[in-house]
Amino acid sequence: MNGFVFGKIFGIKLELHSSFILLFGLMAVFLAIFQPDDFIPTMILLFFLFLSVLLHELMHSVVAIRLGAKVKKIILLPIGGLSMTEEIPKSPRAEFLISIAGPLLNFAIVFLLLIAVSAFPQLPFPNYLFEKTPTVEEVETAVSAFPLFGLLWVNLLLGMFNLFVPALPMDGGRVLRSILAKFLGFAKATHIAAKISKIIAIFFVIMGLLGGNLILAIIGIFVFMGAGQENEIVSIKEIFENQNIEPVINPKPLVIDGEKNLFEVFDIMKQQNKTNFLVKLEHGFGILNAQDLFQVKKIDWMNVFAKNICRKVHSIPKESLASDVAAKFLAKEYSMIPITENHQLIGVIEAESLQNFLEIKKIEKQ
């Protein structure tokens, strides 16, 4: 997924998905040209959406960390977000608690806002909406005219949509899977939840296109892709269950010293005809590839070293299962992972080798 990294909280990288950036940009241009009077209210509302999605995902991540998961990064989408963990929770209870944490925070914000406007009547808030059943037009007007109500409305919709639509990868789908997993096991529960999710996704796309609601159609596409990805991850872990990683270990990886400058690194690339290296650091290892060199201007190569631009990678012990290794590849988008025995490097597992191993196991299981 392409996006913009804008910070870190609790060691978790925060990334804005390209669709969120595109939404902000298109809305800003459209409003500036055609509806300048609505520009500021709409930008405030989009900011509230961004803030609410961020808090929603942070709550998921905090609960996940408390339950022992390692969260690498949060990707913010217009309809919610994705917390990239090293593995999907195996305990139905853990997944249930993590899943409801985000929506519950949204509902808590709604509750606190209602208390605040009740305690301080002078705050600008459309109390008249609660005196009768409001029309859609009245609600839309209030959302733009009253920032506090806009914040309340965004959190209410975000919480309800994520929790009550039983489709992966949204929270409602994860809650459904956690309930099914209690009786059917995690793998079967995921397959069933993914099928239900794809039916819901197709319904969203059809209704969105027929009703002229482009956002609903886009949500449907996101849900369809996300459900497929969830199912693929679980299928991979199921195939690799109890498989030893020794057959896919490359015992002679190309390791370069982190103190080499980029001219030296490039010379090794040419000599070895390889573009992917393990970098030996003072503490641990990193990964460096050709794309990393493209990010640095050639005139600076003499003063930039492999250790400066490589991505830190945690090694895993030789006795690890292939299913756990696959989960790390999927969660962290690694190209290789160093393998250790008694804290000594004995080789690496490369993404391509693991993919080949997966294809072979799929054929065996037919």
- Indicate the range of 35-39, 91-95, 230-234, 276-280 predicted with least confidence: 230-234
CA distances from 204 to 24, 65, 158, 207, 210 (A): 22, 33, 16, 5, 10
- Separation CA 360–CA 168 (nearest Å): 28
pLDDT, residue 1, reads 45
- Average pLDDT of the residues of the chain: 85
Asked whether the predicted pLDDT for residue 2 surpasses 80, the reply is no
- My answer on whether 194 and 147 are in the same domain is no
pLDDT, residue 88, reads 57
Asked whether the predicted pLDDT for residue 206 surpasses 80, the reply is yes
Burial 300-335 (b: 16+ CB within 10 A, else e): ebeebbbbebbeebebbebebbbbebbbbbbbbebb
pLDDT, residue 211, reads 87
Q: 173 in a domain, yes or no?
A: no
Q: 95 in a domain, yes or no?
A: yes
pLDDT, residue 331, reads 58
- My answer on whether 76 and 100 are in the same domain is yes
Element containing residue 141 per DSSP (H, E): helix 136-145
Asked if 189 contacts 181 with a C-beta cutoff of 8 angstroms, the reply is yes
- Indicate the range of 28-42, 102-116, 175-189 predicted with least confidence: 28-42
- My answer on whether 18 and 104 are in the same domain is yes
Asked if 364 contacts 342 with a C-beta cutoff of 8 angstroms, the reply is no
The stretch 126-136 carries a mean pLDDT of: 86
pLDDT, residue 205, reads 93
| pLDDT range class, residue 303, cuts 50, 70, 90 | very high
- My answer on whether 131 and 23 are in the same domain is yes
Whether 57 is catalytic: yes
Asked whether the predicted pLDDT for residue 279 surpasses 60, the reply is yes
Which ranges of 248-350 would DSSP assign to H, the alpha helix? 262-272, 290-294, 306-309, 322-332
The stretch 192-209 carries a mean pLDDT of: 94
Choice among 57, 95, 230, 350 that is catalytic:
57
More confident residue, 239 or 360: 360
Q: CATH no. for residue 288?
A: 3.10.580.10
> What range defines the domain where residue 199 resides?
178-240
Asked whether the predicted pLDDT for residue 185 surpasses 90, the reply is no
More confident residue, 362 or 30: 30
pLDDT, residue 354, reads 78
- My answer on whether 74 and 103 are in the same domain is yes
Q: 104 in a domain, yes or no?
A: yes
| pLDDT range class, residue 72, cuts 50, 70, 90 | confident
- My answer on whether 151 and 9 are in the same domain is yes
Which among 121, 180, 126 has a CA at the least distance from the CA of 152? 126
Asked whether the predicted pLDDT for residue 262 surpasses 80, the reply is yes
Domain count for the chain, please give it: 3
- My answer on whether 128 and 28 are in the same domain is yes
Q: 78 in a domain, yes or no?
A: yes
Asked whether the predicted pLDDT for residue 347 surpasses 80, the reply is yes
Asked if 279 contacts 255 with a C-beta cutoff of 8 angstroms, the reply is yes
| pLDDT range class, residue 89, cuts 50, 70, 90 | low
Domain C-terminal end among 141, 164, 187: 164
Asked if 248 contacts 321 with a C-beta cutoff of 8 angstroms, the reply is no
- My answer on whether 110 and 222 are in the same domain is no
